[in-house]
Each structure stands twice: as C-alpha cells, then as structure tokens.
C-alpha cells in the first residue's frame, strides 16, 4: 500500500502554496517577456509570427521560435492581465486630482476589460481560432508597455523631463509596441482577407488607453 501511494501521479493540490505562487509568477513573467521582447533574432528585422513565407497564404506561417511564442501566450491566464490592469489604474489614479482618483481608477479598469472583450468578440466574429479567454489574455498582457510608459511618465514628472511633448514620445513608443505585439498574435489566427478588420479595433483600444495616460 505504501509503494502504491508513493507511485501515485503528482498533483498540484499537494504542492506547497509557495511553489504554486512561484510557478504562476514565472508564468506571468515569461508572458510579459514575450510581449516586451517579441523580436525573432533568427530573421532579419523579424517579429514573432510575421515572417510569412508566401503572400498567398491565408495564415502567416511562423518559424519554430515564433510557434513557441504563440504557444506560450495560448496558455492563457487572467492573473497577469489583472495585475497589469491594476498597476495602470493605480498609477493613473495617483496622478489624477484627489477628488477624481476613484473615478479614474474605475474608468481605466473598466476600459481595459471592456475594450479587451469588445476586440475579442470582434475577432471571434471574424473567425479567430483563439478562445475568448486566450484573446483577452493576449490583449491584457500587451497593455504592459503602456503601463511602463505611465510609470515612467509619473517618475519623470519629478524632473525637468516632465513636459507634454516628452510624455507624448513615451506614450507613442508604448502604443506602437503594444499594437504591434497584439496585432502579430491576432494576425496569426485570422484569415488574411479579414485581418485588417480584426486589427484596427486594437489600434482604437490602445489609442484610448494612451489618451488616458496623457490626460492624467
């Protein structure tokens, strides 16, 4: 009986809480790294998932490195997007006037989740092969560059770099990075003739978040 107990398959229900938390932390960190460092060094100016080999293909054919990136983000979770959303909401609420802080926090929080849901539903209607939560996960993680821009702008407000045109530069870089990353992943799962219809709402989504960052 003792031997049979020892040979039972390992269950995550039996692991220590610390190990469970650290596994989730490593998973979230890995996905954030994919969003921040999506360049494929094996291609010239390559970008994960956009190295098409034939313009007539309906779906872009990724290399092995790109496939690993896509597969990693398909292992969806909502902890990472929640943390990214909370971080952005808290940063902007601290920068807002005191009497508007709670309203700004709620507006940013709702904008991230509702925007992600709307973009996801649009992609689903256009034939996306990603599930609803996989798509929300990707869009949520891709907000991370904008969160970093908001944090950087908040820190620069304490220096002489805290001027509007410098803020605009940081937001523009973060916007392009976020749009590019999410567009790549969405473009992988949408037929070519419908790809633009699936991607342009992403631009509006991140434009609105960028506007909120500049506004507050």
- Alpha carbons 31 and 182: distance in angstroms, whole number: 12
Residue 150 has pLDDT above 90, yes or no: yes
Instruction: Please state the rounded mean pLDDT for residues 103-114.
Output: 94
What pLDDT does residue 73 have?
A: 64
- 40: part of which helix (H) or strand (E)? strand 39-40
By C-alpha distance, which of 45, 62, 44 is closest to 53? 62
- Which range, of 41-45, 61-65, 80-84, 155-159, averages the lowest pLDDT? 41-45
Average per-residue pLDDT in the chain?
79
What pLDDT does residue 53 have?
A: 39
DSSP 102-139: HHHHHHHHHHHHHHHHHHHHHHHHTT--S-HHHHHHHH
What pLDDT does residue 76 have?
A: 80
Q: Which tokens go with 206?
A: 């991140």
pLDDT in tens, 14-66: 677 788 788 878 878 878 877 777 555 454 334 444 434 343 444 445 555 55
What pLDDT does residue 23 have?
A: 81
Coil vs helix vs strand at 149? helix
- Global pTM? 0.78
């Amino acid at each position: 009986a003792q031997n049979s107990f020892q040979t039972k398959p390992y269950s995550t229900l039996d692991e220590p809480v610390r190990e469970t938390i650290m596994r989730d932390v490593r998973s979230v960190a890995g996905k954030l790294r994919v969003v921040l460092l999506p360049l494929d060094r094996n291609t010239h100016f390559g970008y994960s998932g956009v190295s098409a080999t034939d313009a007539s293909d309906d779906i872009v054919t990724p290399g092995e490195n790109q496939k690993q990136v896509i597969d990693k983000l398909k292992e969806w979770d909502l902890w990472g997007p929640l943390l990214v959303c909370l971080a952005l909401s808290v940063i902007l609420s601290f920068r807002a006037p005191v009497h508007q802080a709670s309203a700004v926090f709620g507006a940013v929080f709702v904008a991230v989740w509702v925007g992600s849901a709307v973009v996801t539903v649009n992609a689903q209607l256009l034939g996306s092969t990603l599930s609803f939560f996989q798509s929300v996960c990707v869009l949520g993680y891709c907000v991370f560059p904008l969160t970093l821009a908001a944090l950087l702008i908040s820190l620069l407000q304490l220096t002489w770099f805290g001027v509007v045109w410098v803020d605009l530069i940081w937001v523009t870089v973060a916007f392009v990075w976020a749009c590019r990353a999410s567009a790549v992943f969405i473009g992988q799962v949408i037929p070519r003739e419908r790809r633009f219809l699936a991607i342009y709402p992403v631009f509006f989504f991140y434009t609105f978040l960028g506007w909120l960052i500049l506004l507050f």
